[in-house]
Structure 1
Amino acid sequence: MGNALQLLLQAARFLLYGAVHVLLISRLQLFDVGWCFFYLGFLLFLPIATPIVVMLVVSFLMGFSMDLFYDTGGLHAAAAVLLGYLRPWVLRILTPRDGYDAQDAVNIHQMGWQWFGVYLGLLVSIHHFVFFFLELGSFSAIGLTCLKILASTLFTGVTMLIVQLLLFPARRRR
Structure 2
Amino acid sequence: MMGNLGQILLQLLRFAIYAGVHVLLISRLSLFNVGWCLFYLGFLLFLPIATPIVLLLVLSFVTGFTMDLFYDTGGVHAAAAVLLGYLRPWVLKLLTPRDGYDAQDSVNIHQMGWQWFLVYLVLLVGIHHFAFFFLELGSFSAVGLTLLKVLASTLFTGVTMLIVQLLFFPAKRRR
Which residues of 2 match residues 54-73 of structure 1 at below 5 A?
Answer: 54-73=55-74
Which residues of 2 match residues 85-164 of structure 1 at below 5 A?
Answer: 85-164=86-165
* 1:173 Cα deviation after fit: 1.1
2:27, 2:156 → 1: CA distance? 12
- Aligned residue pairs: how many? 174
Q: TM-score, normalised by structure 2?
A: 0.99
**Identity in percent:** 82
* 1:103 Cα deviation after fit: 1.3
The secondary structure found in structure 1 opposite 2:21 is: helix
* 1:99 Cα deviation after fit: 0.5
Q: TM-score, normalised by structure 1?
A: 0.99
1:71, 1:103 → 2: CA distance? 37
1:168 aligned residue: 169
1:47 aligned residue: 48
Structure 2, gaps ≥5 residues long:
none
2:43, 2:106 → 1: CA distance? 12
Aligned Cα RMSD in Å? 0.4
2:48, 2:123 → 1: CA distance? 18
1:17 aligned residue: 18
Structure 1, gaps ≥5 residues long:
none
Paired amino acid for 1:134: L
Runs of 4+ in structure 1 deviating by more than 4 angstroms, as ranges, are none
